[in-house]
Amino acid sequence: MCGILGQINKSDHVNADVFSQMLHTIHHRGPDGNGVYFDENNCLAFGHTRLAFLDLSEAGKQPFVSNNEQIIVTFNGEIYNFLELKKELLNSYNFITNTDTEVIIASYQTWGLAFVNKLKGMFAIAIYDKKINKIFLIRDRFGIKPLYYFYNESHLIFASELKAILASGLVRKEIDFSSFSDYFVYRYIPSPKTIWKTIFKIPPANYLSFDLDTFSFSLFEYWELKSNNEQENKNLLIDQINEILQLSVSEHIRADVPIGSFLSGGYDSSAMVHYMKNLGINPETFSIGFKNWEKSEHQFAQIVATHLNVPNKYVIADEKSLDLVNIMPKVYDEPIADISIVPTYMVSKLAKQNVKAVLSGEGADEIFGGYTWQHQFYEEIYNKKWWQKIMSIFIKQDTVNYYANAMAMGWFDKEELESMLFPSLHQFIPSDVHWFYRKNFKNNLTPLKSIQYLDMKCFMGELVLTKIDRASMANSLEVRVPFLDHVLFEKIFSLKESQYFKKDQTKYLLFENIKKYLPSSILNRKKQGFVGPDSYYMNIAYYQKELANSNLVKHHIINQSYLDNLLKQEYNWKLWKILIMEKWFSHWVD
């Protein structure tokens, strides 16, 4: 796991001192070392900060130059099937290291850009091919690893985090107020947009092809999750899923350093630890709890840890922990209002004190059907009463509207945004505030799969994975997510819904594979998201103090009267979104 950086100037030289300062802003992503590459004209520079897991020697440093010196790579992530790919390539490439980075170069030289379809892993890859004078910026299928870029007629800059691009001094810090509006609707700023007008995200499963001769680029999507309606033998299917998961975990624990695991006491993280134990690994596990809360997940994590005989450490969040909100703008670069940004940061900090990497359970709810809104939607669609079935002939279910309501956590529509924002900003409010959900809604999918697809592209791909990456990498910790194996997602989406989604058993195919190995108190535990007690977030006096003398109000962005009305209520989730934006604005703008 690392940080990557690049700058390409059309005519003038890249300033080495400034480039070094840019690289330093992402030092936390790779404190084990750094490296730079400048081309012979000093108009192109690649940078890398290293968090070492494979081939810890100097031979594993990046940017990496191919044997023939025609290909240069800087890469953030892990290629989990690199050993298998390396075996395929031994006859066509002379390897000098044991790194997955060199496998990327060999794969590209052998298969061209089609090599990306062979990769299993999380990655943000930059490739400079001297022979064709092109640069390729490639992001993994799910968006586990971030990749940003700035482009104008004279420069292309890319980086793992926004702060590195801003440090170039070439980007004006102008807020994109359409993105500002999006944030209040979604809790994040959806790809390809960012909070800044001239910086963009490469969307998941996309690559950018940049032609240095014409100084222009194009974006291409290289992977899309396909659906089918197959029926398989139940027992054989359960065994197949077990084999896929076991293989994925075995690939994810490949490293020259120990790998631990997050542990919440839910199905997903408990399954990770179970599979690690099956593979002969006794991982250190890490959990977070909340003070004076009977549902605190560290208690359930302890039950699993005791049952599986693995060590467990935990940290407890209390009312003082919310002070960490003040450093979240530096951690995240742009506002993100997931309610677990602080707890995720805390448990990452705890884990880093003991290991360099952990496994985590992201992706299981999306693909196995674990979210409450998935079950509620399933009920609404498939278990209608007779009169509801008749009504549905005339009134079609608006899936996007349903999903927007499920995701809102403080509802903002066009009217609400107009009420909150100064009139001069109303022009930037999108006419369809749910444009991103609509963009990712696939009406050719079955109803449940259409929700799962939205979860994969919108909730997980933009919110959850961003939270995990920044919170962990701010602590120089790598988080690996074995459920995010495209083979698993493709397998599940090839099936009839009834094969993997059961009304009375959440995450049926996962449950069937872990039910013999976990205690009944965990197997029968009601689904609980990564949240805290209401009292942790619902202290109105806290918001009154933090939002007094608001900079968003002072800069004529948010109306004071709107804020005053919210602060009179017992609690409203809109306050959390405003607080996070206030902290971000005060740090990066004011």
Q: What is the DSSP string of 297-349?
A: HHHHHHHHHHHHT--EEEEEE-GGGGGGGGGHHHHHSS----TTHHHHHHHHH
Give bridge partners of residue 466 from the DSSP assignment: none
Bond into 335 cis (ω within 30) = no
**DSSP letters spanning 440-486:** T--TTS-HHHHHHHHIIIIIIIIIIHHHHHHHHHTTT-EEE-TT--H
Q: Residues 13-29: what's their mean pLDDT? A: 97
Whether the per-residue pLDDT at 475 is higher than 90: the answer is: yes
Higher pLDDT, 398 or 352: 352
- Is the pLDDT at 533 greater than 90? The verdict is no
With contact defined as beta carbons under 8 Å apart, do 79 and 49 qualify?
Answer: no
Cis peptide before 447 (omega within 30 of 0): no
What pLDDT score does 436 carry?
98
**Minimum mean pLDDT among 456-460, 556-560, 569-573: which range?**
569-573
Question: In 3D, which of 354, 293, 213 has the Cα closest to residue 533?
Answer: 293
| Mean pLDDT taken over the chain | 93
Q: Is the pLDDT of residue 125 over 70?
A: yes
- Distance of alpha carbon 585 from the chain centroid: 22
Lookup: tokens for 555: 């800069």
- Asked if the model's pLDDT at residue 388 lies above 60, the reply is no
Q: What is the pLDDT of residue 384?
A: 59
Write out pLDDT tens, residues 60-79. Answer: 688 999 988 899 999 999 99
How does DSSP assign 8-71, residue by residue? EESSSPP-HHHHHHHHHTTGGG-BTEEEEEE-TTSSEEEEEEE---S--SGGG-SSEE-TTS-E
Q: What is the pLDDT, as a whole number, of residue 504?
A: 86
pLDDT of residue 57: 56
Global confidence as pTM: 0.94
pLDDT at 227: 96
Position 539 scores a pLDDT of 87
Name the phi and psi angles at 194, rounded to 5.
-130, 180
Question: What is the chain's Cα-based Rg?
Answer: 24
Nearest to 101 by CA among 69, 68, 133, 79: 79
Q: Which domains does the chain have, with CATH numbers?
A: 2-221 (3.60.20.10), 234-369+446-524 (3.40.50.620), 392-441+535-588 (no CATH)
Distance CA 214, CA 32 (A): 37
In this structure, of 166-175, 445-454, 537-546, the range with the lowest mean pLDDT score is: 537-546
Quote the pLDDT of residue 58.
65
- pLDDT category at 186 given cuts 50, 70, 90 is very high
- Chain segment 390-407, per-residue pLDDT in tens: 445 445 568 999 999 999
- Residue 390, pLDDT score: 46
Q: Which of 2, 85, 106, 328 is catalytic?
A: 2
Residue-level pLDDT at 440: 98
The answer to whether residue 2 is catalytic is yes
Closest CA to 84 of 205, 256, 245, 250: 250
Mean pLDDT of 227-238: 97
Asked if pLDDT for residue 205 goes beyond 90, the answer is: yes
Check: CB of residue 425 under 8 Å from CB of residue 557: yes
In tens, the pLDDT along 77-114 reads 999 999 999 999 999 888 888 899 999 999 999 999 99
Q: Which residues contact 441 (CB under 8 A, 6 or more apart)?
A: 399, 400, 403, 450, 453, 454
Q: What is the DSSP letter of 202?
A: P
d(CA 233, CA 256): 39
Confidence of residue 56 (pLDDT cuts 50, 70, 90): low
Residue 249 contacts by C-beta under 8 Å, 6 or more apart in sequence? 272, 275, 276, 279, 359, 482
Which among 197, 187, 212, 143 has a CA at the least distance from the CA of 165?
197
* Pick from 287, 270, 289, 283: nearest CA to 311: 283
